[in-house]
Structure 1
Amino acid sequence: MADDPLFYVVAVACLGVAAILMFGIGTFGKGGDFNRKYANRIMRWRIGAQFVAVILILLFVYIRRQGG
């Protein structure tokens, strides 16, 4: 599994989602003007990144089941 390049792409996508999530939680916890201005935008970025990560995970599982 580790020799599959798609595995690394999926791992990077998941780490990207985690990074965006942690950034959003940090700004939410701190509050202030930045949070009021960018909270919804950060949430939309996280949802988009999560969508891409889920699609990549499903693609990875599909390819692995096909024996590719």
Structure 2
Amino acid sequence: MMTFLSILLIAAMIAVVVVLIRGLATFLLNASADARSGETGPSESALKSNKMMQYRVFFQAIAIFIIVLILFIGSARS
């Protein structure tokens, strides 16, 4: 059970890093173009970057939940 949770934790942490990098890359690649366009309101790339950051928060919450679960199971065994 602990091995399975450890694998899930590693997968969640990798997902956090991947989504963070994708969100930052989207933001950095499109921020200057969005500033030059002069449009009002959020652009499509800004919405995509925002969605990536929402996914990051979601995966971080999953990782924290798995850590709490591992600590809870570990303390129950001792």
TM-score (ref. length: structure 2): 0.71
Match of residue 23 from structure 2: 24
- Note if 1:13 corresponds to 2:44: no
Letter in 1 for 2:8: V
Higher RCO structure, 1 or 2 (CA under 8 Å, sep 6+): 2
CA RMSD of aligned residues (A): 2.0
After TM superposition, give the deviation of residue 37 of structure 1 in Å.
3.3
Q: 2:8 and 2:22 mapped to 1: Cα distance?
A: 21
After TM superposition, give the deviation of residue 61 of structure 1 in Å.
1.4
- 1:27/1:34 contact within 8 Å kept: no
Aligned residue pair count: 66
Aligned sequence identity (%): 23
Q: 1:21 and 1:36 mapped to 2: Cα distance?
A: 14
Instruction: Pick the aligned partner of 2:46 from 33, 36, 41.
Output: 36
Q: 2:26 and 2:46 mapped to 1: Cα distance?
A: 9
Structure whose alpha-carbon radius of gyration is higher: 2
Q: 2:71 and 2:18 mapped to 1: Cα distance?
A: 23
Q: 1:14 and 1:26 mapped to 2: Cα distance?
A: 18
